[in-house]
Amino acid sequence: MDATRKLDKLQSEIEENYGEKISALRRDIHREPELGFDTEKTAGKVLAALEGLPLEVETGVARNGIVATLRGGGEGPTVGLRADMDALPITEETDLSFASEIEGKMHACGHDGHTSMLVGAAHALCGMRGGLNGTVRFIFQPAEEGGGGGQVMVEEGAAEGLDSIFALHLWPGLPFGTVATKAGPIMAAADAFEMEVRGTGGHGAMPHLSADAVVIAAHVVTALQTVVSREVDPVEPAVLTVGEIGAGTAFNIIPEKARIGGTVRTLNEELRRKMPGRIEGLARGVARGMRGDATLDYRFSYPVTRNDAEAAARALETAASLFEGKPVLELPNPSMGAEDFAYFLQKVPGAFVWLGVGEDVSGLHTPQFAFDEKILPRGSALLAALAL
Ligand code: NI
């Protein structure tokens, strides 16, 4: 088919033919957010919205994930399009008419949008099946926000035989409708650590008879700030954040133990592997110097999300030919956030692409996050065009 000719009208066609369906699905998913791998109802809504399309549907991948395949004519490539379906443990604070009805759960990362945009793309591409040269695989995954649903889907074969793969993420802070990506790393590796700091407990009035775990932990947290500032090459991005600290039971007791938890973000695999050794060495040195000790439990989690250079360039070119005004941006820098689409990109060349929802939209993972639904048909059009 003449893909360029099709692209001109793609967004308006999707808006007219599927706009209401996409928005209705988004609202339905938004009302009933589900966490982690427990996206059974969400998957049911996706399946209902795909009903009647000429797709080969596989369910139960990574428990509640869905892989739906559209076979066009011809011997063209197999392209994967992936969306995430899970929500976050946040209580929603928007006044949307379709706000979360489930206390403590909210679609605060836009995955309700990603999922319905992909359903919209499936409808649009199924409508052009006759002229489609190749195969499109629609991948709906659970457990992006921790749990590594993407990794499980890849292990269960969702990326087998793909020639390329793309995914979108709605992005506050970028002008509305702007399509942004870059070659190479776009999101960081996100690892986690927990540390137990041990001293010896005692009476608050007799510190000389104990080793104070609170004071040791405070020094460890301060010393950890030197890992990035003094041990990492200044032109190499890295983050070490202590997000949790806890100890003690009463004002007049010196506790025996303290607990510290944090995250480490890196873009460089060699540096990533060095971090636990430096953190442990420094923490134990500080703790032992104060007559205590520390143990580190370090968990390597999502790897770097690394875009293929050609796929990233193609995504930007596609967006430029698809949308008037060519609102595309080649990102100068990656985000130090993380994304488990990384596991798909380890197997298949492709690109993770950000779609701007505006500069004055509350950030991802905030209780006020809400976006203008006009972005949905635009995202569907971009996904469909990337497959084309
Ligand atoms: Ni997300």
Query: What is the tens place of the pLDDT at every residue in 82-125?
Result: 999 999 999 999 999 999 999 999 999 999 999 999 999 999 99
Range of the domain at 292: 189-302
Nearest to 342 by CA among 160, 187, 157, 147: 187
Distance from Cα 105 to the centre of ligand 1, integer Å:
14
Quick check: 1 pLDDT over 50?
A: no
Distance from Cα 169 to the centre of ligand 1, integer Å:
7
Distance from Cα 87 to the centre of ligand 1, integer Å:
9
Distance from Cα 359 to the centre of ligand 1, integer Å:
17
| Mean of pLDDT values over 62-68 | 98
User: Are the CB atoms for 216 and 258 separated by under 8 Å?
Assistant: yes
Convert 66-78 to b/e letters by CB count within 10 Å (16 or more is b).
Answer: bbbbbebeeeeeb
Residues 105 and 167 in one domain: yes
Distance from Cα 379 to the centre of ligand 1, integer Å:
15
Distance from Cα 272 to the centre of ligand 1, integer Å:
22
Residue 200 to residues 246, 293, 297, 376, Cα–Cα distance (Å): 16, 10, 21, 58
- The order of strands in the sheet holding 65-71 is 56-61, 65-71, 133-141, 73-84, 164-172, 350-358, 179-181, 328-330
Distance from Cα 145 to the centre of ligand 1, integer Å:
7
Residues 228 and 362 in one domain: no
Residues 121 and 199 in one domain: no
C-alpha–C-alpha distance, residues 271 and 310, integer Å: 26
Residue 27 confidence (pLDDT): 98
Residues 16 and 54 in one domain: yes
| Mean of pLDDT values over 183-204 | 98
Q: Is 164 or 7 the better-scoring residue by pLDDT?
A: 164
Quick check: 4 pLDDT over 70?
A: no
Distance from Cα 24 to the centre of ligand 1, integer Å:
20
Residues 23 and 33 in one domain: yes
Q: What is the DSSP letter of 87?
A: B
Map residue 91 onto helix, strand or coil. coil
Residues 366 and 321 in one domain: yes
Distance from Cα 33 to the centre of ligand 1, integer Å:
14
Residues 335 and 269 in one domain: no
Q: DSSP string of 108-158? A: -SSHHHHHHHHHHHHHHHHHTGGG-EEEEEEEEES--SSS-HHHHHHHTTT
CATH at residue 351: 3.40.630.10
Residues 180 and 115 in one domain: yes
Beta bridge partners of 166: 81, 351
Q: What is the pLDDT of residues 239-291, one digit of tens each?
A: 999 999 999 999 999 999 999 999 999 999 999 999 999 999 999 999 999 99
Distance from Cα 377 to the centre of ligand 1, integer Å:
19
Last residue of a domain, one of 258, 283, 302: 302
Distance from Cα 348 to the centre of ligand 1, integer Å:
20
Residue 6 confidence (pLDDT): 60
Cβ neighbourhood burial of 127 (10 Å; 0-12, 13-18, 19+): middle
| Mean of pLDDT values over 30-46 | 98
Map residue 12 onto helix, strand or coil. helix
Residues 132 and 195 in one domain: no
Residues 139 and 156 in one domain: yes
Distance from Cα 129 to the centre of ligand 1, integer Å:
30
C-alpha–C-alpha distance, residues 251 and 215, integer Å: 14
Residues 32 and 129 in one domain: yes
Distance from Cα 288 to the centre of ligand 1, integer Å:
40
Tally the domains of the chain: 2
Quick check: 383 pLDDT over 70?
A: yes
Residue type, 181: T
User: Are the CB atoms for 115 and 34 separated by under 8 Å?
Assistant: no
Strand segments, DSSP code E, in the chain are: 56-61, 65-71, 73-84, 133-141, 164-172, 179-181, 184-187, 189-198, 202-203, 238-247, 253-254, 257-266, 293-302, 305-307, 328-330, 350-358
164-172 and 73-84 strand pairing: parallel
User: Are the CB atoms for 213 and 255 separated by under 8 Å?
Assistant: yes
Distance from Cα 370 to the centre of ligand 1, integer Å:
13
Question: At residue 106, what are phi and psi to the nearest 5 degrees?
Answer: -155, 145
Mean pLDDT rounded to a whole number for the chain: 96
Residues 73 and 27 in one domain: yes
CATH at residue 238: 3.30.70.360
- The order of strands in the sheet holding 293-302 is 238-247, 257-266, 189-198, 293-302
Confidence of residue 296 (pLDDT cuts 50, 70, 90): very high
Last residue of a domain, one of 256, 273, 302: 302
Last residue of a domain, one of 268, 302, 336: 302
Convert 130-151 to b/e letters by CB count within 10 Å (16 or more is b).
Answer: eebebbbbbbbbbbbbbbbbbb
Locate 93 and state its tokens.
């604070």
Distance from Cα 155 to the centre of ligand 1, integer Å:
21
Residue 326 confidence (pLDDT): 74
